[in-house]
Structure 1
Amino acid sequence: MSSLLRRTGPFAHRNARLYVLFTVLYNARAYYPVLAVFFTDLGLTLERFVLLNLVWALAIFVLEVPSGALADTLGRKKLVVFASMLMVVEMAILLLAPKDGGTLLFALCILNRLLSGTSEAAASGADEALAYDSLPEEGRESAWDEVMGAAMRWRAVGLLLAMALGGLLYDPSWLAKIGIVIPLDIAHRLPVAVVFCQALACVVIALRMEETPHHAIGTAAARCASAFRLTLRTAKMAFTTRSIAVIIFGGLLIDSVARNFATVNSEYLRLISIPEWAFGLIGAATGMLSFFVPEIARKLNARFSPLGVLGIAGALAVVALGLLAPAWPWFGVLPSMLLMTLLGLVGFTVSRHLHASATSSQRATLLSVRGLAFNLGYGSVSLGFSILLARMKETHGDDAFRAALLWQMPAVAVMIALFFAWAWRGRLGLAGRNHPDH
């Protein structure tokens, strides 16, 4: 982190510095600790909220790889600027959405999720590729490890601040005790207002980035045709190269389960009797733990193969889900924090492996293939969890959420066990150093 502040090493290059700043402001969103309760307090049911996550994932499914290919052909900077502008619009919609607005509210929430998914698809891969390809070719892999590690640490700091601020802003009861009264409806929008300001900053940062060579020739139509061909070639390469496909599928399996829980985490905290003002503080504590994940991930990846690291993450995910299921008051916070930190470990491992496997001309596209697969997995898990919630509501009534958690754990354990039993029959083993062809 000190080299970032001193602008030395890989951070002597503008794109590397701006990438860290962009990824912090783009991802550290103050409404995260209250995400589920924000939508349900607006007037949506929990099942509808979970379905919104499917809409978000479907938007990425349609646009993720084409956006990466367009970044590799039309320009990475254009995609990052576009993503930032969409972030501004999606936040504005949440600021203006009417409480208990019925069909209009649901329609606006769907539009918000569509724009959010489109923004994620546009930024995914393009921002990393801008930073990675701006680094000198000599020593690029080790330099990228330093950039990625700094980005993850600063994101952890950003999340720590955003989570603490978001939870405190959403529940102004603590301010009322010292004589500061904020109407509840206004307080519920304040975390979104903070992220709206971050979105404006992201636009400015994206405009300051420098375009890197993207191997584009010919007219816009020719470049779009080239993007389509690049999409097909890269997707075929990703899913027919075993060393890449296994890591993508293993990563998405763990990531999708952890992310689905992350979206309903605030409802879980309500379930285990945590006061709303503490949601952000718990999120901040999780962010503090995430600060140490890059170094742990680096050491694990130096000792084990990528599949070995994912195997460790999968085992920890099953343990966390098992401890979440009983919904013990207060103690349930610990396994939820463990599940969140696994997102960083999986992301570091998969990203490191894919960067080592990609050529410069297809890097953003391959990263977008990863994003496509991850978000398709996330959407599938969200849909399955929504269906499970609906079924549990028929038999368990108001205790449906707790019942769904109990059913989720064994189902996920079986899926992870079957995947790794199949994967370890191939060439990737638990022991050995990380290598794209290992």
Structure 2
Amino acid sequence: MNNMHNVRKLYLIRFFGSLIPAYVIERLFWESRGMTIQMVTYTEIIFAATVVLLEVPTGMLADRWGRKQMLLLSACLYAAELLLLVYAHAFWHFALAILLAGISRSASSGAENAFLYDCMLADGRAENFEKVLGRINALDLTAAILAALVGGWLAGTFELELHYWLSVASVLIVIVLTATLAEVRAETEDDEGKERKPLLDYLRTSIRFFKTHADVRSVVFTGMVIGSSVSFLYEFWQIYLARLAVPVAYFGLFSALVMLLGLPGNLLAHRLLVRYGARPLHLAATLLASVGFFFAAFVHHPVSLAAMLLTSLAAGIAEPIATGYLHHRIGDSSMRATIDSFQSLGLNAVLAASAIGFGLASAHFDVFGGYGFVGALCAAYAIWNVCSYRNKAT
């Protein structure tokens, strides 16, 4: 079977997996079912803890038992989460749904990238990984924009439950598509003559991989810094716009622009990578994010929104480059999902650590101080990166 059939299905899987109108009215729906802001915070903690605890174990299982199986499990749990939310009326209902969401995210994160790379490797097209991943991410954003627009219109006409039923239907399509994937294992020289590893060997080998690849650590960690930083944009832009007295009617437009600015970076990352290399691009992306957050922190004017959008552009460039740089250097295909899971684990760890600083700064200087902290974090890391790798080739 041509493995590019799998790749085309991954495009569709990501599209329908992001075509979720429920996200547009999520907080309104939860509030209508009695969920306070404090309760929502508790569920966020449950989600983060679940991802951190299960990220690497699910990656190991994906390498051991198959990436398709983990992707299918993730899709089924995703559907179960949405169905549970339709009938949720108590805190423990929502907590259980978020627990399922965390398991679902962990099951798919390492498996999806590993499955995609091995499909392309088996088809002799591994050098195009960043290009394809960028296009998949762009399709992801396109579906999210479409869901936001449709969901916003539906909210003014129908009951909020309809958003969840439509979202369940979209995820059911994901389940069907995932079930039709053909498992692939791209054989490499490192795979020849090897017996199946014990599960703990996956962990030891992954740690040893990062210890012996300083260049990978640098590029991947830069992606973690940018990825965690842009998360604060996605989570708190509504509060920022409210502080600037921007009318709520414009919130949807800004949300669409945030996602649209992620498209050019994802679509052009592979071309920029060939011309400039991974480290210079990641340095530029880090500086771009720093400028955007500093502008948002100190220029309390709607014009600062344009600068904030730079952070979305920076993230769009950084993510496919970091993931591609990592996968191109994984010689043992049987370890691919486990090693990729460490990338996601690190991203969540950096996010959790920086959230402490963001929270403290926001407590003293409102959201402006929080964004100033994130800008300083990006700038400090950029300076350290320049000093550390000034004399090294990309």
Q: Same fold (TM over 0.5)?
A: yes
Cα distance change on mapping 1:410 and 1:245 into 2, 3 Å: same
Cα distance in 2 for partners of 1:54, 1:168 equals 31
Task: Look up the match of 1:425.
Answer: 387
Deviation at 1:275?
5.1
Please tell me the root mean square deviation across aligned C-alpha atoms, in Å.
Answer: 3.1
- Partner of residue 5 from structure 2, selected from 2, 6, 14: 14
Q: Check whether the contact 2:46–2:95 (CA below 8 A) recurs between aligned residues.
A: yes
Partner residue in 2 for 1:298: 270
1:340 and 2:286 aligned = no
TM-score, normalised relative to structure 1: 0.77
Tell me the CA shift for residue 201 of structure 1. 1.4
> Would the alpha carbon gap of residues 118 and 17 (structure 1) be closer, same or farther in structure 2, given more than 3 Å must change?
same
Q: Does 1:63 align with 2:54?
A: yes
8 Å Cα contact 1:324-1:336 kept in structure 2: yes
SS at match of 2:119: coil
Q: Name 2:141's counterpart in structure 1.
A: 156
Matched, 1:133 2:106: no
Partner of 1:369: 342
| SS of 1:358 mapped into structure 2 | coil
Contact 1:163 1:281 survives alignment (8 Å): no
Q: Could you tell me whether the CA contact under 8 Å between 1:243 and 1:428 is conserved in 2?
A: no
- The CA distance in 2 between the partners of 1:253 and 1:230, in whole Å, is 25
- Contact 2:21 2:150 (C-alpha < 8 Å) held by counterparts: yes
Distance 1:384 1:83, change over 3 A: farther
Determine the C-alpha separation between the residues in 2 that align with 1:66 and 1:134: 22
Aligned-residue offset at 1:409: 3.1
Instruction: Please give the secondary structure, in 1, of the residue aligned with 2:388.
Output: coil
Equivalent in 252, 275, 278 of residue 224 of structure 2: 252
Tell me: CA distance 1:139–1:212, structure 2 relative to 1, closer, same or farther (3 Å).
Answer: closer
Q: Which runs of 5+ in 2 are unaligned?
A: 188-194
Q: CA deviation at 1:208?
A: 0.7
C-alpha deviation, 1:268, in angstroms: 3.7
* Letter of the 2:352 counterpart: G
1:264-343 correspondence runs (5 A): 264-274=236-246, 276=248, 278-325=250-297, 328=300, 330-331=302-303, 333-343=305-315
TM-score (ref. length: structure 2): 0.85
Contact 1:54–1:380 (CA<8 Å) still a contact in 2?
no
1:90 is aligned, of 81, 88, 110, to 81
Letter in 1 for 2:265: V
Aligned length: 386
Q: Residue 6 of structure 1 aligns with which residue?
A: none
Aligned letter for 2:71? V
Output aligned runs, 1:18-167, within 5 Å: 18-33=9-24, 39=30, 43-46=34-37, 49-50=40-41, 52-98=43-89, 104-105=90-91, 107-137=92-122, 139-167=124-152
Match of 1:409 in 2: 371
The answer on whether the counterparts of 2:297 and 2:371 sit within 8 Å (CA) in structure 1 is yes
Mapped contact 1:28–1:162 kept (Cα < 8 A): yes
Q: Choose 318-327 or 361-370, whichever is displaced more.
A: 318-327
Seen in structure 2, the aligned counterparts of structure 1 residues 384 and 414 have a Cα distance that, compared at 3 Å, is: closer
- Give, in whole Å, the separation in 2 of the partners of 1:238 and 1:191: 42
Distance in 2, Cα, partners of 1:191 & 1:270:
25
Q: Deviations over 1:226-255 (max 9, x none)?
A: 232112211332244211111222211121
**Aligned counterparts of 1:320 and 1:34: Cα–Cα separation in 2:** 28
1:157-194, CA deviations, whole angstroms, 9 ceiling, x for partnerless residues?
21221121233333x1xxxxxxxx54xxx33x444333
